[in-house]
Structure 1
Amino acid sequence: MTIPLNVRAHAGTSALLVVLTVAACLLVAGLPRTMQASFDEALRRSLAGTAAVRTDLTVTAAPARPAGELHSRAEFESAAGQWRRLLPASLRPLIGRGGHISAKTFRTPVDEAVGPRRTFVNLGWLSDAGRRVDWVRGRAPGEPSTMRYRGATIPVIEVGVVEEAVARMGLRVGQTRMLGESVHTAAKIVGVFRPKDPGGRPWSHDADVLHVTHVVPADGPEEFHTTTLMSDDALSALTDKASTLAYRWVLPLDAGAASALDAPRAEAAVAEFRRQVDVQGTGDISYRVVTGLPQLLAGFLTGLSAARTVMYLVLGGLLAVALGVIMLGLRLMTDRLERTIALARARGASLWQVASAGASVTALTVGPAALAGYALSFLLPGPALPIVHLGPAVVVVTAVSFAVARLVLAHRTPLRERRADLVRPSARRLTAEALVVVLALTGAYLSRTRGPAGTASQDPFLLVIPVALALAAALITLRCHPYPLRLLVRLAARRRAAVPFLGLAGAARGRSTGALAVLVLLPALSLSVFAAVVHDGITTTQRLASWQKVGAPIKLTTAADIPPDVVERVRRAPGVEQVAPALTGRVQIRTTGEQPYAVAVDLDQWRRVNEDAPIGLPALSGDTSALLSPALGDRGTFELTWLSPVRLTTQGVIDAVPGFYSSGQFLLVSRAVLPWPAANTLLIKGDIPPAELARLVPSATVETQEAALATVQADPLTGTVRTTMVVVTVALGAYALVAIVLSLVAGAAGRARAVSLLRTLGLSDRQARRLTMLELLPVIVITAPVGLALGLVLPAALGPGVDVSAFAGGLPVSGHTPGLLAPVALAAGLGLCAVLGAYAHTAMSRRRDPGAVLRVDDS
């Protein structure tokens, strides 16, 4: 047989296979690339959005003896080079250039009489201070000197102070402050500085230099702390006689070099670096690494594991459905080659030659298309994962294997003819199908009982279960759907009209034509419904999480009480519809001394504010009733001190107070228990800009439910999951439509002959359309509800194995009624397309001459 000739003879079918293969390979190779690129972007944005003090690697040291002290820039820079050399190879790409070094004292008191306040002026040195500050008054510090103080010679270190310290602590240029208690050092203020970029990431390591710290101890006078800046030359005079000296080497993290694939290795590399630094310590000085990077990576990997599970779950189903549709196309091609192969077999062609011919035709059609789809996937951003290379190869191997197996089975002996609708399934086949069903149900049960395998790697068990369940449902549907059809055939046989009987009889007997279509259509529909349900669940839960976080459309909070006239001003502001004042703060339970947080609010007013909210509010039976957190439990009747003593009765236990507290010790009481109408929180309903509220209450922090929702949805991982769900839903719906079209085309020849024969007996065009629809619709009518039901129950069937709470504000995506609009629209769309396909097929058949069709078929 001439292979190119066979391909050209069936150019339409070959073109369809090319399109299906290109699309399948592009999806299976391109989507993982874009997903991984989005995972990388999510990690980079997460690290870049976190304070540098948590992401950077900081080596700290505390000299224990004078021999461990460092007194020059060269010594510090030499140690910095040593730390970089100790970095593990997998961690070095993440550490950017630059960084800085600091040497600071802490809790260095000013030697003065203790009054109502204490002042602490710490000495500090930053290796890059010249690039980070501007001197706005005086001059930059210079070399140290000495002076006599209390009979001893002490060093005088020139320092500069931040502008805020001048305003809040009374420090000014020209002052000399004596520091220390038993060991003294003089700090001479020679300049005032201002940061060039107050929001720069390095300042998160040196907030004590940038701002004055105000501390109010429980049993002492208030304290003011500031850290000054000194020159490189002053390092020679910086000693640790008071044991308050600390060195820091900051190795900055380059968030742009982070990769989600390398995150697990980076987490282990930080632990190795910490061990290497620890062993460098001596008796004179000890070193340790301070960083929050492992915790950040661990949290990211938890969300990443959930994202990968969901992504590969739907992609696995997409690949299975795409392969099924390609098999439908190959079935159409092998049917077209039926007579050619049968003639070659009758003329002496061996079974090996038949297999070789089928493999060659399929490879010539599918191979270049797979390479084209694989090549197109490189136009998409992202790294080339193993699945990018493996997916197209799986498509080609599966396609060639299916074509060869079908031709070999059909032509085991020459001139072997049989009617497919009369072939009974063998016991071996029925046993295999029963085994698939049992394994799928067992896997679903185990996935619910055992939960996810862990976050370190993907769970192959979980990734196979949805496809196995869909395949099991398809097999059960395939075996059971002829029985109701036969009943309908018997009922139709009693009527005088011939079209219902002929159409339903054709549907009941067309098992070979509809089997593969069912095996494709049902998984495609169920997995697309599953993706739509999960997407809808994430969207709904995100909205719920935003309401739980804020507690109202708008929440305004202040550190101090809001005066009643300000509350009225907000209430009368344009756009404000409802206002519910609330008071929050720590209270004390007199019998135990515990200090839980309390919320006092008028719940009726709060309900009016949240009239359209998806969250519910508890009810209090009386003004002296209280709802307690699980950490407090049922206290019965107890006495509380808050503004004034009050006696409360426990009404029940609540898990959270929306917008306020969700963990720890807290309680909710009526605002009527307050001795006067105090408020530091306003819960607001209305259409008023947050900027306007901030203008009305300048010291307030304004939060909105819409902003909280936007924050949750802006997470890159969340966006990736939702976008992929939409893409997969559309792709699976498209494949389901293609499966319907191929089912129509596969039986087109036999259907055209039957219609042509019936037209010679008086069949009208309208009856022909009805006949075609009656043959096709039963498969759709039976398969669509099964696929819809399976897609709706798949999230519950998989149980805790698919945890998408990381993309929904931390709330579990369960316990809500799924939106049925998208799933029902998918199922209805398939039925509509089947009807349209039947009309189109009938219209095309009308153009044929019945006599010509019958002469060709009977020749």
Structure 2
Amino acid sequence: MRIALLARANAGTLAVLVALTAVACLLVAGLPRATQASFDQALRRSLSTAPAVQTDLTVASEPRTPDQDLHERGQFASLYHQWRQIVPAPLRPLVTPAGHMSAKTSRTPVAGTGGRTYINLGWLSDADQRVDWVQGRAPGPVSTTRHEGETIPLIEVGVVDEAVREMGLAVGHSKVLGESDYVAVKIVGLFKAKNPNDRSWSHDADLLHVARHLPPGGLDFEFHVTTLMSDAGLAALSGESRNLTYRWVLPLDGRTASALDVPDIGAAVAELERLLSVQVVSPTAHRLDTGLPNLLSDFSAALASAQNVIYLALGGLLAVALGVIVLAVRSLTDRMEHTLALARARGGSLRQVAGAGAALTGLAVAPAAAAGYALSFLVPGPVLPVVHAGPAVVVVTAVGFAAVRVSFAHRTPLHERRDDVASARPSARRVTLEVLVVGLALAGAYLLRARGLSQDPFLLFVPVALTLAAALITLRCYPYPLRLLVRLAARGRAAVAFLGLTRAARARSASGLPVLILLPALAVSVFATVISEGIASTQVRASWQLVGAPIKVTSIGEIPASVIEKVRATDGVEQVVLAQTGRVQLANAPEWAAAIAVDVAQWRRLLAGAPISLPALSGSTSALVSPELRGRGAFEVGWLGRPRVTPQGVIDSVPGFWSSGKFIVMSTSALPRLEVNTLLIKGEVPPAELARMVPASTVDSQERALAAIRDDPLTGAVRSTLTVVTVALGLYALVAVVLSLVVGAADRARSVSFLRTLGLSDRQARRLTVLEVLPMVLLTALVGLGLGLGLPAALGPGVDLSAYAGDLPVGDYSPNLLTPGALAAGLIVAAALGAYAYTAIGRRRSLGTALRVGDS
């Protein structure tokens, strides 16, 4: 057969098929690349924003005997080179050469302070590149001094300028350290970090800040600071007399990491840990200190949830795209039916006829698939296997369906059928298959709710299976209510309603293909809309839960009353609630809890209209307590005195402060006086201005917290994919409606032509066409809308979306019906307008083009 002539005769249908194929291949090849690029960006952001002490690979050892001590920089450098050599291959591209080494003591007490002051000795290999000396000079060589009749080492050290304020240290001071094996230090300089925001300082935060610790059962704080000494100081350090730790830091640069490599990176970290345990390069045992495995584990959990949601949506999109392409191929084969039947009657073999249909389909879809595949490379992102497999599946499905349908339609020459008189009874095999599909879909939905997506990847097909089951049920059931309407219409005098509904009720089984496409398209698009809105609403609630107010100002110390009045008088400030937070002792036992003293009634008024709230608190001695403090009677709180409070209620969290552990919310009147260190503010005021007004403070806002949640790459990938899928499925649903008008157009035109010979007017023809097409679309739209609205609630327990909503569970699926309703209404309106347009076009067709000789 001459394929070129067939292509010329069906150019319009082929053009539609080309467009559908190209778009489908672009989506199935481009969206996975875009989502994977978002996954990579999320991993890189996670590795880049986490403290370096979590991501870097730190080799540590603790010498215990003199032969394990390292006294020279060269010994550290030699071991550093050794550690870099044994780093496994998956980690090597991420490890940067700019590492550093350190030696530090811990819990080194100052003699005569009773264990309340600790000055630790520290050495950094790159100190000259990381600190500036603001007073005095850099430490020099080690000398000796006398203490209690003995000669002890005197080490020159420098301290951070914060130690001057917190611990009363100054240049020129000397301190004796230790309780038996003494060493003296002389402070010769004060330093500050050249770049305190450098991530590497997370390894050495003890050098930049004075730490205060409250020992268990104690009432007085311990002060800890780590000093900085020169290379010469290493000779005076020994693990035999000090709590000494050596560290070699191998920095990780996550800017080139890929989410696909996460399993290999995790395995490489475990391998490095094993290698360190078996390496014998010095008498000291070495270990690997890193938070990278935990970081990768948390990322993998969030990534798995994102992949599940995205694959759910993409799976539905692929199924609908293939269905629409199959519908277009069916329209093409319908148009060629008479030509192929004639060729079969003239002696053409079934292989030739089926080959002609497959070749013509392949002539359209193969170049279109190649074009869509090529365009997908404009989308940034790695090339995954699905990028290659997706277009191939589209081509094979289209060509295979064309060959199979032509083969079945032309098994025997001149095989004519009349399915318009009575609907065909489905075979037992087909009924069994449909019942099996429905049963598997329901069983999959149960397993998805009970086990979650992480237990079985095959459960990803459950939403698509549910929509297919609903489509089959709709296809089987929708003729029955129509037959009731036919009986009612038969009692009337108007023939158009009776004829239109009769043709709709007697539609042959093959006409149900649009239902199998239209219902999943609408259901999955509504499902994606509801999920996206559920995530958005939970994100807002999470941002309020994180901050606890429109704006929260937290100060290290007490905020002066003059500053509070200045904040109240600031333009845009509507309300200010004063609060004091701290750590308090419960009763007389060594038990501690976090506490906040606040006017709960004012806080509740400040949260009016927000998606979070607090229980009311009545009485000056009443308190709200965490679940861990449930069931206790009145107890004393060691906080600016010994106030006694009585638990009035239990709360799971305090918005903006705590969500776990032991905590108390009490009234400000329970304290003898209020030392305000927290301000809860309602109004429109720039956070930067508040930070300038309140010294040594941190300013958080609900808007900033919401922006941080939404700016997460994984969250953005999920929401953008759901948006694209919603739009694409809506368009595919419209295309399915149009193609459903085209499919069977020849039979419909022939019937209308028959009726026109009997006096059917143009207006009646339009009404007849609408009544024939609209019931199926209307019922399918309603079922798809209901299924799409019900899927999130039905499958929600099996899909964890908390990672994209500020770690709050997404369970509120009360969507705005505007978007889903607009999708369903748009399909119905498109069907009605298409029917009118089809009838208007068919009115210009002469009866001779539709009727054969003798038909009238």
TM-score (norm: length of structure 2): 0.93
What SS class does the counterpart of residue 628 from structure 2 fall into? Answer: coil
CA contact (8 A) 1:116 1:221 kept: no
Equivalent residue, structure 2, for 1:382: 381
Equivalent residue, structure 2, for 1:302: 301
Equivalent residue, structure 2, for 1:25: 25
Question: More displaced, 482-491 or 565-574?
Answer: 565-574
Equivalent residue, structure 1, for 2:661: 664
1:207 equivalent among 185, 205, 208: 205
CA contact (8 A) 1:108 1:121 kept: yes
Distance 2:204 2:778 in 1: 69
- Note the C-alpha offset of 1:178: 5.2
1:806 equivalent among 798, 803, 806: 803
Question: More displaced, 354-363 or 592-601?
Answer: 592-601
Distance 1:172 1:560 in 2: 23
CA contact (8 A) 2:691 2:698 kept: yes
Change in 2 beyond 3 A, CA 1:652/1:125: closer
Change in 2 beyond 3 A, CA 1:90/1:195: same
Equivalent residue, structure 2, for 1:264: 263
What SS class does the counterpart of residue 58 from structure 1 fall into? Answer: strand
Change in 2 beyond 3 A, CA 1:287/1:443: same
Residues 776-795 of structure 1: per-residue CA shift (max 9 Å, x gap): 11011100110011111111
Structure 1: gaps of 5 or more residues:
none
- Note the C-alpha offset of 1:651: 3.4
Equivalent residue, structure 1, for 2:434: 433
Distance 2:515 2:803 in 1: 35
- Note the C-alpha offset of 1:632: 1.5
Residues 430-471 of structure 1: per-residue CA shift (max 9 Å, x gap): 1111111111111112222233444xxxx3322111011000
Question: More displaced, 716-725 or 192-201?
Answer: 192-201
> Match for 1:201: what amino acid?
R
Alignment coverage as a number of residue pairs: 852
Distance 2:191 2:631 in 1: 56
Question: More displaced, 683-692 or 28-37?
Answer: 683-692
Change in 2 beyond 3 A, CA 1:329/1:547: same
Counterpart mapping for 1:811-850 below 5 A: 811-850=808-847
Distance 2:675 2:186 in 1: 48
CA contact (8 A) 1:574 1:688 kept: yes
> Match for 1:733: what amino acid?
G
Equivalent residue, structure 1, for 2:496: 499
Equivalent residue, structure 1, for 2:450: 449
- Note the C-alpha offset of 1:819: 2.2
Residues 146-196 of structure 1: per-residue CA shift (max 9 Å, x gap): 677776665555544444456665666666665555445555555554433
CA contact (8 A) 2:453 2:460 kept: no
CA contact (8 A) 2:531 2:813 kept: no
Change in 2 beyond 3 A, CA 1:260/1:615: same
Say whether 1:132 aligns with 2:130: yes
- Note the C-alpha offset of 1:359: 2.3
Counterpart mapping for 1:409-558 below 5 A: 409-421=408-420, 422=422, 423-454=424-455, 459-512=456-509, 514-558=511-555
Distance 1:783 1:387 in 2: 31
Change in 2 beyond 3 A, CA 1:594/1:100: closer
Residues 802-843 of structure 1: per-residue CA shift (max 9 Å, x gap): 111110111111144222221111111111211221232233
CA contact (8 A) 1:161 1:229 kept: no
Change in 2 beyond 3 A, CA 1:761/1:464: same
Distance 1:84 1:420 in 2: 77
Residues 647-688 of structure 1: per-residue CA shift (max 9 Å, x gap): 544433222222232212223334443444554333222222
- Note the C-alpha offset of 1:42: 0.2
- Note the C-alpha offset of 1:540: 0.5
Change in 2 beyond 3 A, CA 1:418/1:724: same
TM-score (norm: length of structure 1): 0.93
What SS class does the counterpart of residue 226 from structure 2 fall into? Answer: strand
CA contact (8 A) 1:155 1:237 kept: yes
- Note the C-alpha offset of 1:311: 0.7
Distance 1:558 1:453 in 2: 43
Residues 396-432 of structure 1: per-residue CA shift (max 9 Å, x gap): 2211221111111111111111123433211111111
Equivalent residue, structure 1, for 2:717: 720
CA contact (8 A) 1:147 1:154 kept: yes
Change in 2 beyond 3 A, CA 1:696/1:633: same
Equivalent residue, structure 2, for 1:366: 365
> Match for 1:386: what amino acid?
P
Change in 2 beyond 3 A, CA 1:579/1:199: closer
Equivalent residue, structure 2, for 1:97: 97
Distance 2:282 2:123 in 1: 24
Equivalent residue, structure 2, for 1:590: 587
- Note the C-alpha offset of 1:64: 1.8
Residues 679-707 of structure 1: per-residue CA shift (max 9 Å, x gap): 43332222222233334432433221111
Change in 2 beyond 3 A, CA 1:653/1:285: same
Equivalent residue, structure 2, for 1:684: 681
> Match for 1:67: what amino acid?
D
Question: More displaced, 183-192 or 492-501?
Answer: 183-192
Change in 2 beyond 3 A, CA 1:175/1:541: closer
Equivalent residue, structure 2, for 1:88: 88
CA contact (8 A) 1:118 1:221 kept: no
- Note the C-alpha offset of 1:525: 0.4
Distance 1:734 1:812 in 2: 31
Distance 2:482 2:171 in 1: 98
Question: More displaced, 260-269 or 19-28?
Answer: 260-269
> Match for 2:550: what amino acid?
P
What SS class does the counterpart of residue 803 from structure 1 fall into? Answer: coil
Equivalent residue, structure 1, for 2:254: 255
CA contact (8 A) 1:559 1:680 kept: yes
Equivalent residue, structure 1, for 2:312: 313
Question: More displaced, 828-837 or 514-523?
Answer: 828-837
Equivalent residue, structure 1, for 2:12: 12
Question: More displaced, 733-742 or 821-830?
Answer: 821-830
Change in 2 beyond 3 A, CA 1:631/1:154: closer
- Note the C-alpha offset of 1:101: 1.2
What SS class does the counterpart of residue 247 from structure 1 fall into? Answer: strand
- Note the C-alpha offset of 1:7: 2.1
Question: More displaced, 829-838 or 570-579?
Answer: 570-579
Change in 2 beyond 3 A, CA 1:276/1:603: same
Residues 581-639 of structure 1: per-residue CA shift (max 9 Å, x gap): 33333444437664333334333322221111112321235444433322112224555
Distance 2:632 2:116 in 1: 41
Change in 2 beyond 3 A, CA 1:236/1:673: closer
Distance 2:404 2:544 in 1: 57
Question: More displaced, 537-546 or 832-841?
Answer: 832-841
CA contact (8 A) 2:104 2:120 kept: no
Tell me how large the CA RMSD over aligned residues is: 2.8
Say whether 1:701 aligns with 2:702: no
Equivalent residue, structure 2, for 1:766: 763
Distance 2:236 2:796 in 1: 65
CA contact (8 A) 1:107 1:225 kept: no
- Note the C-alpha offset of 1:523: 0.4
Counterpart mapping for 1:595-674 below 5 A: 595-620=592-617, 622-674=619-671
CA contact (8 A) 1:115 1:221 kept: no
- Note the C-alpha offset of 1:239: 3.6
Change in 2 beyond 3 A, CA 1:452/1:661: same
> Match for 1:131: what amino acid?
Q
Change in 2 beyond 3 A, CA 1:733/1:621: same
Equivalent residue, structure 1, for 2:290: 291
What SS class does the counterpart of residue 510 from structure 1 fall into? Answer: coil
Change in 2 beyond 3 A, CA 1:519/1:856: farther
- Note the C-alpha offset of 1:210: 3.0
Equivalent residue, structure 1, for 2:326: 327
Distance 1:186 1:668 in 2: 47
2:775 equivalent among 775, 778, 781: 778
Residues 362-402 of structure 1: per-residue CA shift (max 9 Å, x gap): 22221222222222212211112221122112112211221
What's the % identity of the aligned pairs?
63
